[in-house]
Structure 1
Amino acid sequence: MKELIAYILQFGNLNQHQIDLISKKATLLALRKDEYFSEAGKIAQQVGFTLDGIVRVCYYNNKGEEITKYFIEENNLVVDLESFDNQIPSSAYVQAITDCKILLFSRKDWNELLDTIIGWDTIVHKIISKALRQKVDRRSPLVSEDATTRYLKFLEIYPNVVNRIPLSYIASYLGITQSSLSRIRKNIS
């Protein structure tokens, strides 16, 4: 819980009563490797905060190929924001790629925090803005670079992820085949 509170306090101030309220609303979810936090076609009903482990956001393209959009590691919020906020079916899957421990807030509890804590909406807005900027910053260089440069950039962006997840997910994220990724890794070593 201290990780979540430290994370939130980067974006605004809370008093002890507000921190206690947030702590009371959170439940611990153990998500096993390959289990889904949320699924395409369903409406996201929860907000999570990753204490331990890595999840990925992925979708299937029109050829039925699985595409990894990005990874979420420890000390970050996990939510399919568009689905959660607009109550529409998600277009992506959020899947654990390692065993995960996630602090979980139901829609009802999250909304109660928004209604009860003055300034909570501002804090949440700042968190979401940072996450969106990060997403753009992480994806933009990957569009125009060659595969080796994209992989080196991946290592920079996700230094704590590379040795903890399957190469197939990294290849999917980079938009290359797994054999190409293996060659790149061999040439770099």
Structure 2
Amino acid sequence: MTSDNFIDYLLQFDTLNTQQIELIKSLLVIKDYKEGEYFLEAGRVSKEIGFILTGVFRVCYYNNKGEEITRYFLDEGNFMVDLMSYTSGISSTEYVQSVTTSKILTLNKSSMDTLSKTIITWDKIISKITVIALSEKLKKVSLMMPQDAAERYDFFLANFPHLANRVPLQYIASYIGITKSSLSRLRRDISKK
């Protein structure tokens, strides 16, 4: 994936002329992440928006018992930002961590302001993307809660088959709300069927 993939993504929401496209590309910053590195850490203010070119990230937090909980995963073609932190300037309560070696494009607040002032349809494009991203986030987080562990794992496999072999077991276990050893047992039981 390249910056052209990012432009193609934006063009789903509105038209952009050549000058606008070149301006967007000139403001994009490419960043590489190693496995385990953070795009955003709890306690820090989100100051940039990321678009994943390659790799997988997870959004996680620590509960009141000090246990690490994975809320959801993001992979290629998805945006990353703590929207509340970014728009309000408050500290994030979550971590966004690279699960694999990853490459992203970023736009900082200054670049976003420049695009908003220069491209008439920019805010409309971002608004449409935000609505879709929030809807997807809700689906990823809430659909599994009323299900038992086996159903939640089936849901994960059915909806994110491309992530099953890319994400460490402990993160999948955390996402579906069970321990790593319980997930190992569940996987063994499924393979026996």
TM-score, scaled to structure 1: 0.97
Residue of structure 2 equivalent to 1:79: 81
Residue-pair matches, total: 189
SS across alignment from 1:155: helix
Q: Unaligned 5+ residue runs, structure 1?
A: none
Q: Deviations over 1:60-105 (max 9, x none)?
A: 0111000111111001111111111111100001110101100111
Q: Which whole-Å CA distance do the structure 1 matches of 2:103 and 2:153 have between them?
A: 28
Residue of structure 2 equivalent to 1:121: 123
Could you tell which deviates more after superposition, 46-55 or 179-188? 179-188
Shift of 1:162: 1.0
SS across alignment from 2:76: coil
Q: Which whole-Å CA distance do the structure 2 matches of 1:140 and 1:45 have between them?
A: 27
Residue of structure 1 equivalent to 2:60: 58
- Taking the TM superposition and a 5 Å limit, the aligned residue runs for 1:21-170 are 21-170=23-172
Q: Which whole-Å CA distance do the structure 2 matches of 1:60 and 1:93 have between them?
A: 9
Q: Which whole-Å CA distance do the structure 2 matches of 1:152 and 1:98 have between them?
A: 23
Q: Which whole-Å CA distance do the structure 2 matches of 1:106 and 1:140 have between them?
A: 30
Q: Which whole-Å CA distance do the structure 2 matches of 1:155 and 1:17 have between them?
A: 42
Q: Deviations over 1:9-43 (max 9, x none)?
A: 11222111111111000011011111110111010
Could you tell which deviates more after superposition, 134-143 or 73-82? 134-143
Q: Which whole-Å CA distance do the structure 1 matches of 2:64 and 2:38 have between them?
A: 21
Given residue 2 of structure 1, which amino acid in structure 2 is its aligned partner? D
Given residue 33 of structure 1, which amino acid in structure 2 is its aligned partner? E
Q: Deviations over 1:142-179 (max 9, x none)?
A: 11011111111111221211101110000101111111
Could you tell which deviates more after superposition, 81-90 or 104-113? 104-113
Q: Which whole-Å CA distance do the structure 1 matches of 2:147 and 2:155 have between them?
A: 9
SS across alignment from 1:62: coil
Residue of structure 1 equivalent to 2:183: 181
SS across alignment from 2:13: coil
Q: Which whole-Å CA distance do the structure 1 matches of 2:165 and 2:88 have between them?
A: 36
TM-score, scaled to structure 2: 0.95
